[in-house]
Structure 1
Amino acid sequence: MGLESNVCVGGILWTRSNSGWQGTPVTRVTATDADDPVYGNSAKLVYSILEGQPYFSIDPNSATIKIALHGMDREMREEYLVVIQAKDMGGHMGGLSGTTTVTVTLTDINDNPPKFSKSLYEFVIPEDLPLGTMGGKVKANDRDIGENAKSSYGIIEGDDQGTFEIATDAQTQEGILRLKRPLDYESKRAYTLKVEATNLRLEPSSGPFKDTATVKIVVEDADEPPVFSRPMYLLEVNENAPINTVIGTVTARDPDYTGSPVRYFIDRHTDLERQFNINVDDGKITLAKPLDRETDMWHNITVTATEVRNHSQISRAIVAIRVMDINDNAPEFATEYEAFLCENGNPGQVIQTVSAVDKDDPIQGHYFDYRLVPEMLNNPNFTIKNNPDNSISVLAKHDTFRRQKQEMYFLPIIVTDNGNPPMSSTNTLTIRVCGCSKDGIVQSCNVEAYVLPIGLSMGALIAILACIILLLVIVVLFVTLRRHKNEPLIIKDDEDVRENIIRYDDEGGGEEDTEAFDIATLQNPDGISGYLPRKDIKPDLQFMPRAGQQSGPNGVDVDEFINIRLHEADNDPTAPPYDSIQIYGYEGRGSIAGSLSSLETASSDSDQNYDYLREWGPRFRRLGELYSVGESDRET
């Protein structure tokens, strides 16, 4: 019977290190045959390599792929394609076959050392390069990849002072050269360093891979600012030092080889009161104003040094000036003491404890000497006693103090310090004689309180006085109100109701047509024939009016009177006609109603008689008609 056979082999991707030895297995492939393996050799497979020699070989029976050539290098060739054939019938003629491709990739091992791209690197670095700033880069290349290509850098020669450091950039694997200490062109102008790059092999027996390179660094000169001999100066001066006293000296130099001269200045923002001066050439600091330690013990100023050749190069130093104390202040009482002495006190009782203060601050501390003024040495009333705490106690000598005899005493005390020379001052202690309880508690300290009646306190006295003042105020108010109530209810002349009559037939025209009327013209009926001067103008010539027709004192006719006045006004050559009219408060004589004035009215009761309106009403209406005549509203 015929035998049908099929062989199937799959492709494989295999990775292998390039450190394998000859004969080292790489992988194993497998092929299947659908023929019956019991029947002859139809299912017997034999394997062979069609492509991949001479690097790989395969076992014909087990299909195991092995390394056939030792020393494959990943850096030369990383990937290999191996074609495997499986053939049945034991590999004899007429057998069926199948193929597959195996991809073999070599993995990297650390079998290459780092290598500098150059054997000599040269850099120029300015001497004023800031610390930590990069000064240059070096690079060691490694043919390996990944972790096997990482290198570390170090300086192994030429940097005994530790001026530089080199570190690895994790991204670029470069060696970064940085400055650890300041450079000084004037002291050292060049450096020669030996730099090493190292990485470790996987095989411990092989040791690390290394490579070295030479780095030359040339220091470039830079214009540097002046340098003070010290960053901070501490000076001392006595507070009584005279003006222009030299307190101290600051020094600075130009570090450049050119050696530019230096000038000194005080930053006035730190010396607002201009307490000090400095010599611009030699840096001597002198006193410009008197000092007072008790006001300012320390003065902190800033001194600047500037190059003459380049004013932009400036350095600064702090100068702390301490003002030394001298004994220039006298001691004085710590506070304004006011002592109180009980009348019923015992002889020798302590009236007051007194202490002193001194603005000075001697090194050995304060010690005060207290004594009474010479004229008080034989004081019969008081004495003083020194206490261990640098204070004194004032004591009473007897118990016969009385407020009626003397209410207050003044005790001058001299206080002297232990300075050189010693200073002293006289301070007065005020002592008041007071009334006290049996327990010595002060109750009253003035004579007035002492002479008050028994049982009447000061508070009660004040209350009584307040009541008296209140009664006086009430009496004054009562009298004032009583006087206002008894005043007669009469109307004064300047409040005459007739002056409040306003004309009602006003036709306009002149600026004075709206003025109130004036009754002065007709107030006196006996004076109608007299000459009344014009009030609105001052005539140049005195004009005597012509005598007109007059009525007797008992038969005054208002119509006739007004006509006469109009005629006189129209014929007066000294002034133009009037543009205003006055009120006529004229009531005539012989009226049945009598006088219209409230001052001339005699009435027995409060009700006034207004019957005169019946007689004079028509006359007032006539007065309005007379007022409206004429184009110029003339009046008399």
Structure 2
Amino acid sequence: MERGIMWNKSSAWQLFLWWHHFFLLWSTIDGQTRYSIPEELKHGSVVGNIAKDLGLVVSELYRRKLRIASEAGKQYFGMDLTKGELVVIDRIDREELCGQRQSCLLPLELVIDNPLQLYRVEIEIQDTNDNSPSFLTKEKVVKIAELVNPGARFPLESAQDPDVGPNSVRSYLISKNDHFKLTVKNHKDGRKIPELVLEKPLDREKQPVHNLVLTAVDGGDPVRSGTSEITVIVLDNNDNAPQFEKNVYEANVSEKATPETEILRVKATDADEGLNGEIEYQFAEQTTDLILSLFDIKPSTGAIVVKGGLDHETNSIHRFDITAKDKGNPEMDGHCGVEIKIVDINDNIPEIIVTSLTTPVPEDSPTGTVIALLSAKDLDSGDNGKVTLTVSSKSPFKLNPSVSDHYSLVTNGPLDREKNDKYSVKLSAVDSGRPQLSSEKIILVELLDVNDNPPIFSQSSYVVYIKENYPPGRILYSVSASDADLGENAKISYSILDSKVQDVSVSSYVYINSDNGSIYSMHSFDYEKLKVFQIQVQAKDQGSPSLSTNATVHVFILDQNDNAPAVIYPSSAALGSLSHQRMPRSAKAGHLVTKVTAVDADSGHNAWISYKLAEATDASLFTVNLYTGEVRTKRAVSEQDDSSQRLLIEIKDDGEPVQSATVTVSILMEDALHEPILDIRHKVTEPSKKTGRITLYLILSLASVSVLSLVTFLILAVKCIRNSRSSGSCCMRRTDCDDYKNPNRNLQIQLNTDGPIKYVEVLGGDMLSQSQSFRSCMSPMSEYSDFTLIKPSSTTDFKEVISVLDASLPDSTWTFESQQVSNEVQQRWVHGL
């Protein structure tokens, strides 16, 4: 059974996301749990610790609103939420609940909210020997002619015991006498029918009456019993009893049969003549009132007809006995059994039961979010009771079947409150009978607005023409925006984004009414001094998280700037980039394998970076530091470890919604590097031509690499000089640039040699302008290295980047000094070394 994991968030919106995210991941209805308890348990008796058995947290049961739904109609069980125990809260009588059925199960449904779950629990009620066998008639008179031969059998009344199994009637006993013995005939339905058997001839003149006691004994512990007095009257003459053609008559009848419908006929014959051979049929003395209310028998013909309404769902089979008596003196009778099966017809409409319904539903709920838990029920049997539940194809919902005719109603596509704020979901239940019966139920699902629409300005940009010396305090222009959301999500406030106009904040020139978007001038303008400026207006709603849209107002006269994020290491490669690393097999626990570094140019929580090992060939071998991204060994490498290890590292920020990236690191474990050196030294004592060639190849390779490195850096220098002449931005120092007011430039170069990662950081910046960053990353344990030029969006944001690096790379020393560089060009060079 799958289990829920709680994650507390500070805002209601985060709680909604958490809730529906786990709806998507979890199976909605878990497997069944069964308990067995004896009937007649005391109030408060513990059935079982259901929280422990289902893997639930006891302290969360009250908050998650656990409740019990019983299909029995009456609630016999309750929950002790403080202990997580299922307890008995009412008297349980198995005979009242299940009658004579061998298996007695009480199905329960445990519904838990936040997140929504449904558990099926079955309580098996075990029978206890709390009922004694009993006879419907305490006194029975049996008339037997004195001429009856020994061996004649006379059926007696069966005892009734509501208990089942070993607690039901097991045997019969007859009081001690000289003429009769008792035998028990086992009926095929499991009943035991006692029969009185004549052992010695009767003599009415010697003893006209015999008084016997019939005792029924059950198999319980302790044993229970019941008695009935049998009075045998010895009669004269009429020496032949009626004999039925069959011992048991069987027939089927439809449950919709009307009164007086003939079901079957029993027939008995009597070898006597006259009144001694005339037969009348009647129900046996022990026949129950239920049988007498449902059926009737014609005394003269033996025809059994329908008397009352039959119902297959109440009783699918009826068994009773028929007696045939002659009119002789004394009367003689014969007995037979009748078994009537009630044939089911499709007379019950399927029922749709809504166990739980979640409404309203956030409109951003992902596909597969559970909306409701449903079940279908039909009292008929066989195909008549098989129900198919469907949902209207026009709605963005579908049904997922689960156990025991249960379904979950889930979303089947995106929801948009702005297009449709509620859905009337039509559910249809159809059985498989002939003719088919069906029912429908309408579920109203309302959508909860989420802030998924940003404010939209009436124009993307506005142009305002104003006269020189325009009076201050007057309205320059009014901007307007609309939001398709509702409530706070659609409430808009206007603001002006801060920017500089001739080194002065734009707020010194204009201000905006946050409620209606009217822009006012702070003072008059001089055309000769300022010909045009721009106002960046932002419309922001009050949703959580809030959404915003910007529009530019050209007043003919301002400028604006946007920030852009910067990536430090391993470079702004494609998502899921692959990094190749090597490590010795002799590595011990804590060995630094590699280091992953990422920077988010955002601020606050959105810039908090965390690293996580998402997947690994062997998760027990490696670990990733949550904050620094260092990949280290958790234990020493063993010979059994695979030579090739693959790690998938997930990088997340703490923003909302969370943004993430992944880096795949391929690690090749090799023998210690000093081992080949030892082998070479060992072979030095045996010089040969082959050894000389290898030495020559090594020298040539080293020389080639050195020359190639020198040529590469010369090419980069030439490119840098050319680009600096055309764009005014370069990695070299340039003191004669006309675009810069302050020629005081500063570069800081740092070499990091921690572990196998080698990289150089070149930083430059100006507090009043944009900044640039140069980085060359060289890893001897990787196939590729980078040379990267990055232009962050602003000096202020780059300072925040540096502060993040201080937190994530504690072994490095970072400094930042003033400089001024061009803010018109952004370049990125990547060269594989």
Query: Shared fold (TM-score greater than 0.5)?
Result: no
Q: Per residue, is there more strand in 1 or in 2?
A: 2
TM-score between the two structures when normalised by the length of structure 1: 0.31
TM-score between the two structures when normalised by the length of structure 2: 0.24
Between 1 and 2, higher relative CO (CA 8 Å, sep ≥ 6) is seen in 1
